Amino acid sequence: MQCATVDVPRDYAAPGKGTVKVALARIPATDRKNRIGSLLLNFGGPGAPGAASLADSAKFFADLGERYDLIGFDPRGVGHSEPVSCGGPQQADEEAIPDAAALLAALRALARRCELASGPVLPYIGTENVSRDMDVIRRVLGDEKLNYLGFSYGARLGAVYAAQFPGSTGRMVLDGVDTLTAPLAERALVSTRAQQRALDNFLSWCAHQQDCVYGTNTRTAKEKVAALVTRLDEEPLVGEDGTYLTGQVAAVAMGNALYSQQTWPALAEALASAERDRDPAGLLQLSGPLIPPPDDEDQDAGPGTVPADNALAALAAVNCADDPDRSRDKADPAVVEQELLDMEGEFLKASEIFGPRQLMTVLACYGRPAGTDFIRKINHPGAPRMLLIGTRGDPATPYEWTEETAERLGSAVIVDHKGEGHTAYAASSCVKEYVDHFLLDGRLPSGTRSCPAEE
């Protein structure tokens, strides 16, 4: 793998403000004689470093890597491309805050701390500018068209590129398609329903396994899982290292495990341990590191160091920059509190397990400036036909977003994957065949095609 950096304008509207160094990685095509060009990949997030992800998954893309130079990149603000940071934890301790006014003040203070810790790149983070960076990368690589494979957030990024640079869009595949239009509250509600649908599918699978802790009745299984989350919020389990398993941490663990059907057996075992043995270890392991470890030393470690909280900081920064509804306006706390109370019933109806946490994401960007409205206005951009992959059981990017985005792009073919998990290229040989044929041979079917679930 070859590594490099490319300088791009920090502010495309005012190039004199300076540049951002974007980190690139390239694995040259193995069949140089039949090389097509470069294939740019984005592995999702936002906040996932593309260079490291390419190194980790190079063998998986070997078929495409015969005729394409595989290109990974760290988007601006991510990884080794001038990483942003919030200088510590990014979640306000809601239980320790007495009222709505104090919570909103804490969120404003957090947003200000992110500004100070991130430096001059933070105001110029966002998909619109990353898309422009991709076109600079295309030209630096010497490609007439951008050939692209994007997963999850990478699908949003690909769609924005096609809208900004339709004449430079080559063969483009978007897997796990993000929404381009939904306001924040609607997006959170649709995500809640998608997570609950994926959990229901998991419980149906569990009911057919030997020794499922919830038995064979899927209706009562849903009730028992919800009861577990409620019980853990009232009386958390304590791990051997003193870590608490609350209901909300258990919900995070379940949400993480639903991203891939390969993780379902581990989730079944973790739930059984919590229910039968009051052992939180399995769910705590699936929940992952919710808050980065203290990183004071990392912050001062010098050039080339990626702050420990970079992935979370970039996730928030990009999502905020992409949404025009989120603003810096200091809304009256009583009004904000009432808006949340008005939405609470609908979120709980969608999912008692995932609804409360998703509802609080409505405040994720409080205190930050409003984002761009460009993405929401994308409509039939004139790009060539592209391939969109949607998975019916996807907990993160529900299938309806695939159909919605296809309509907005106006030139897309859909592969309807009937399986489970988030994104399908790695999970379905049928999907992989469609993708590889299109990227390697330019073959693209018409209409919507279907791929079955695979065991």
Backbone dihedral region for residue 77 (phi beyond 0: left; psi -120 to 50: alpha; all else: beta): left
Strand order of the sheet with strand 386-393? 2-9, 19-27, 68-73, 37-42, 146-151, 169-175, 386-393, 412-420, 448-451
pLDDT mean over 396-406: 95
Higher confidence at residue 166 or residue 87?
A: 166
pLDDT digits (tens, 9 = 90+) for 89-106: 766 655 556 678 888 888
360 within domain boundaries = no
**In the predicted model, is pLDDT for residue 408 greater than 60?**
yes
**Residues 56 and 142 placed together within one structural domain of the fold:** yes
**Among this protein's residues, is 380 annotated catalytic?**
no
What's the CA angle centered on 199, arms 198 and 200, to 5 degrees?
Answer: 90
Express as a percent the part of the chain with pLDDT over 70: 93
The whole-angstrom distance between residue 225's C-alpha and the CA centroid of its chain comes to: 25
170 within domain boundaries = yes
**CB-based contacts of 188, cutoff 8 Å, min separation 6:** 347, 358, 359, 361, 362
pLDDT digits (tens, 9 = 90+) for 380-392: 989 999 999 999 9
CA distances from 131 to 157, 165, 172, 207, 373 (A): 6, 9, 14, 45, 15
**In the predicted model, is pLDDT for residue 299 greater than 90?**
no
**Residues 238 and 272 placed together within one structural domain of the fold:** yes
pLDDT mean over 152-178: 97
Residue 326: predicted pLDDT: 67
Residue 433: predicted pLDDT: 96
pLDDT-based confidence at residue 281 (cuts at 50, 70, 90): very high
Reduced to 3 states, what is the DSSP secondary structure of residue 134? helix
Residue 335: predicted pLDDT: 83
193 within domain boundaries = yes
CA distances from 227 to 217, 220, 222, 353, 373 (A): 15, 10, 9, 9, 41
**In the predicted model, is pLDDT for residue 293 greater than 80?**
no
**Residues 204 and 244 placed together within one structural domain of the fold:** yes
Say how many domains are in the chain: 2
Reduced to 3 states, what is the DSSP secondary structure of residue 80? coil
**Residues 402 and 276 placed together within one structural domain of the fold:** no
**Among this protein's residues, is 422 annotated catalytic?**
yes
Which of 240, 259, 287 is the endpoint of a domain? 287
pLDDT mean over 395-413: 94
> DSSP states of 225-284 as a string?
HHHHHHHHHHS-EE-TTS-EE-HHHHHHHHHHHTT-GGGHHHHHHHHHHHHHH---HHHH
Reduced to 3 states, what is the DSSP secondary structure of residue 386? strand
**Residues 174 and 190 placed together within one structural domain of the fold:** no
**In the predicted model, is pLDDT for residue 327 greater than 70?**
no
**In the predicted model, is pLDDT for residue 292 greater than 70?**
no
- What whole-number distance in Å separates Cα of residue 42 and Cα of residue 130? 11
Catalytic residue among 118, 394, 416, 417: 394
Which of 237, 265, 287 is the endpoint of a domain? 287
pLDDT digits (tens, 9 = 90+) for 5-26: 999 999 999 999 999 999 999 9
**Residues 171 and 278 placed together within one structural domain of the fold:** no
Q: What is the DSSP letter of 301?
A: S
Q: Are 127 and 156 in contact (CB under 8 A)?
A: yes
Which of 89-117 are b and which e, b meaning 16 or more Cβ less than 10 Å from the residue's Cβ?
ebebeeeeeeebeebbbbbeebbebbbeb
What is the separation, in whole angstroms, between the first and last Cα of the chain? Answer: 34
pLDDT mean over 404-417: 94
Q: Are 54 and 2 in contact (CB under 8 A)?
A: no
Residue 295: predicted pLDDT: 41
Instruction: Show the domain range for 210.
Output: 184-287
**Among this protein's residues, is 118 annotated catalytic?**
no
**In the predicted model, is pLDDT for residue 73 greater than 50?**
yes
**Residues 19 and 129 placed together within one structural domain of the fold:** yes
170-179, 331-340, 381-390: range with lowest mean pLDDT: 331-340
Tokens 């990183």 correspond to 295
Catalytic residue among 53, 85, 152, 351: 152
What average pLDDT is seen over the chain? 91
- What whole-number distance in Å separates Cα of residue 435 and Cα of residue 358? 32
